[in-house]
Amino acid sequence: MNTQIQEMAELLDSAAKNASPIAQLSGRYNFSEKDAYAIQAASIQRRHERGEQLIGLKMGFTSRAKMEQMGVHDMIWGRLTAPMLLENGALVLDRFIHPRAEPELCFKIDKRIDRQIGLEECSAYVSKVAAAIEVIDSRYENFKFSLEDVIADNCSSAALVIGEWQEAGSLDLSSLGMQLQVNGDTIAEGSSSAILGNPWESLVEASRLATKYGLALEAGSILMAGAATPAKYVERGQEVSVIVEQLGQTGFKVV
């Protein structure tokens, strides 16, 4: 399996680097969920070798809306690296295959989390939250994949923008209105309650899964909590933004 893990990691890494999609790996290889996380780790290792720093983790399929859109029924987690942060608010379309945007919340970890924490402990580890957009870009043709495929593909992670950090302590995050807009028109709308009933639960789950796979949520790192609505394809020329009640807005232009 080890050689195959490296082989699959290289295929996915090259697909991302060259913005050129590949056929689903599950059609050609037989691999488990555990193997899929090993492929993810190996493909991210290739990015680290090119100098990309880890900036945090992301949760995926924390909402029913996303699970239904993609036909997948389990939570997943992936890794975020520094070049994924969109600079100057621009998404350069040519660098992606078929990018989609989704409205999210992002947490900033203040204190290292290296064990599973409970809901009531979250505020001791995280004090900042922000409106965010995640851009996902499956490396698979037609954005089609199995659970193992998408885990191996680092959960489709491609890019993100984060709005201004807000103090999380004084806010109730459990039912904030969230809108994804294109050129000022709302194209997807939901509530933060779609994210596991309360986005803090996404941090709890991240602490559980990270610990299970031998990782910690490092101080200073970020956690993307997962999308509240289905993701939407973006096109050149669009101004894409997210507005989250009480948290504010952020966005990018597609160039």
- In the bound complex, what is the minimum distance in angstroms from residue 155's beta carbon to ligand OOG? 5
- In the bound complex, what is the minimum distance in angstroms from residue 49's beta carbon to Mg ion? 25
Say which entry of Mg ion, ligand OOG, none residue 149 contacts (CB below 5 to 8 A, set by partner kind): none
Contact between 227 and Mg ion by CB under 5 A: the answer reads yes
User: Is the Cβ of residue 121 or residue 223 nearer to ligand OOG in the bound state?
Assistant: 223
Cβ atoms of 122 and 240 closer than 8 Å: no
Contact between 12 and Mg ion by CB under 5 A: the answer reads no
Return d(Cα 41, Cα 237) in angstroms, integer. 34
Say which entry of Mg ion, ligand OOG, none residue 156 contacts (CB below 5 to 8 A, set by partner kind): ligand OOG
Report residue 67 as tokens. Answer: 């699970």
Return d(Cα 50, Cα 238) in angstroms, integer. 31
Say which entry of ligand OOG, Mg ion, none residue 251 contacts (CB below 5 to 8 A, set by partner kind): none
* Residue 19, Cβ density class (10 Å: 0-12 exposed, 13-18 middle, ≥19 buried): middle
- In the bound complex, what is the minimum distance in angstroms from residue 134's beta carbon to ligand OOG? 6
User: Is the Cβ of residue 5 or residue 72 nearer to Mg ion in the bound state?
Assistant: 72
Among 227, 240, 242, 247, binds ligand OOG (CB under 6 A): 227
Site for Mg ion in 116-135 (CB under 5 A): 134
Return d(Cα 40, Cα 157) in angstroms, integer. 11
Return d(Cα 91, Cα 161) in angstroms, integer. 10
Contact between 226 and ligand OOG by CB under 6 A: the answer reads yes
User: Is the Cβ of residue 222 or residue 227 nearer to Mg ion in the bound state?
Assistant: 227
Beta-bridged to residue 126, according to DSSP, are 109
- In the bound complex, what is the minimum distance in angstroms from residue 3's beta carbon to ligand OOG? 27
Contact between 97 and ligand OOG by CB under 6 A: the answer reads no
Return d(Cα 232, Cα 148) in angstroms, integer. 23
Cβ atoms of 56 and 186 closer than 8 Å: no
Contact between 66 and ligand OOG by CB under 6 A: the answer reads yes
Report residue 14 as tokens. Answer: 């090259």
Q: How far is CA 249 from CA 94, 95, 112, 138, 161, in A?
A: 25, 25, 27, 25, 10
Contact between 148 and ligand OOG by CB under 6 A: the answer reads no
Site for ligand OOG in 127-146 (CB under 6 A): 134, 136, 138
- In the bound complex, what is the minimum distance in angstroms from residue 211's beta carbon to ligand OOG? 20
Contact between 155 and ligand OOG by CB under 6 A: the answer reads yes
Instruction: Write the DSSP symbol of residue 61.
Output: S
∠ at Cα 90 (224, 48), nearest 5°? 55
By three-state DSSP, how is residue 20 classified?
A: coil
Say which entry of Mg ion, ligand OOG, none residue 155 contacts (CB below 5 to 8 A, set by partner kind): ligand OOG
Backbone angles phi, psi at 34, to 5 degrees: -65, -45
Residues that bind ligand OOG (CB under 6 A): 60-62, 66, 70, 102, 134, 136, 138, 150, 155-156, 226-227, 231
